[in-house]
């Protein structure tokens, strides 16, 4: 199934629109059903260090940030929408585009949940360039792009999901990721990054990328150039030299 990115209905609605508010509540239910927050916590927490600063992309209602804040106090949010009413005064909220944000160098960890599938291949390449000089860890939980997950959602959508969520969930799965697509599109290349991708039974695609300590080139005195994922290379299907990525499939 080819990756197709379309604009989701929730992005077209005013923030305070009743349908938008309903859909955001339903997204929380989907997060619970998929276990995304729990999976991110379980995978990330062993790699955190004292004093780490975390930035969550697409923070939305702030639920994931609140969970992570129990382990690391410094968790900031970035989103196009305004902060939730209960967002801590001690935490920063950056209301801007993730692809235009230039402060990634201030953070040790960047987290994204059900966000990156909304980005085109070109947007992901642009985001990857900005992340390249920033965090030590990038972790993302996105939809896995498989037909069986479309069927799974069709079955559970009968239980009270509204028009916006029914449309956007299907669009999200079709725009999701398979195999090593996400690290490739972000340009997380060897030898600078070590990436691991896992696919869960409930339709989760979990990527953990960790920056390697790369020694400077003894002859040139500089680091090797980062492979660029340009628009032309994306269209031609010419991937740069990426690290081997372990893909763990769910048990039958």
- What CATH number is attached to the domain comprising 210? 3.40.50.150
Q: Is 32 left (phi over 0), alpha (psi -120 to 50) or beta?
A: alpha
At 126, list the tokens.
Answer: 């642009």
Q: Measuring CA to CA, how many Å separate 96 from each of 39, 171, 189? A: 26, 23, 27
Would residue 1 count as lying in a domain?
Answer: no
Q: Evaluate if residue 231 carries a pLDDT over 60.
A: no
Would residue 2 count as lying in a domain?
Answer: no
Quick one: pLDDT band at residue 133, thresholds 50, 70, 90? confident
Quick one: pLDDT band at residue 153, thresholds 50, 70, 90? confident
Would residue 4 count as lying in a domain?
Answer: no
Q: Looking at the whole model, is its pTM more than 0.85?
A: no
Would residue 243 count as lying in a domain?
Answer: yes
Instruction: Give the lowest-confidence range in 11-20, 77-86, 213-222.
Output: 213-222
Which pLDDT tens digit goes with each residue over 81-96?
999 999 999 999 999 9
Domains held by the chain: number: 1
Domain, as residue range, for 197: 9-214+225-248
Give the residue from 153, 159, 129 showing the smallest Cα distance to 202: 153
């Amino acid at each position: 199934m080819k990756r197709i990115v379309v604009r989701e209905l929730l992005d077209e609605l005013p923030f305070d629109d009743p349908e938008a508010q309903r859909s955001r509540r339903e997204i929380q239910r989907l997060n619970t059903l998929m276990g995304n927050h729990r999976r991110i916590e379980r995978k990330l927490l062993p790699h955190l260090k004292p004093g780490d600063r975390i930035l969550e992309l697409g923070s939305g209602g702030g639920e994931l940030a609140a969970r992570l804040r129990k382990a690391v106090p410094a968790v900031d949010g970035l989103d196009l929408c305004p902060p939730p009413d209960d967002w801590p005064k001690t935490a920063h909220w950056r209301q801007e585009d993730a692809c235009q944000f230039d402060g990634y160098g201030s953070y040790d960890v960047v987290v994204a949940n059900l966000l990156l599938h909304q980005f085109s291949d070109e947007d992901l390449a642009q985001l990857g360039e900005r992340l390249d000089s920033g965090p030590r860890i990038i972790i993302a939980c996105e939809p896995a792009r498989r037909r069986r997950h479309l069927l799974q959602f069709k079955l559970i959508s009968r239980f009270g999901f509204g028009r916006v969520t029914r449309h956007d969930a299907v669009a999200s799965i079709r725009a999701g990721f398979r195999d090593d697509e996400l690290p490739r599109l972000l340009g997380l290349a060897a030898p600078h990054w070590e990436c691991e991708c896992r696919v869960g039974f409930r339709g989760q695609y979990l990527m953990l990328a960790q920056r390697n300590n790369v020694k400077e080139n003894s002859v040139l005195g500089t680091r090797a150039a980062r492979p660029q994922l340009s628009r032309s290379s994306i269209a031609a299907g010419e991937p740069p030299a990426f690290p081997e990525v372990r893909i763990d499939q769910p048990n039958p």
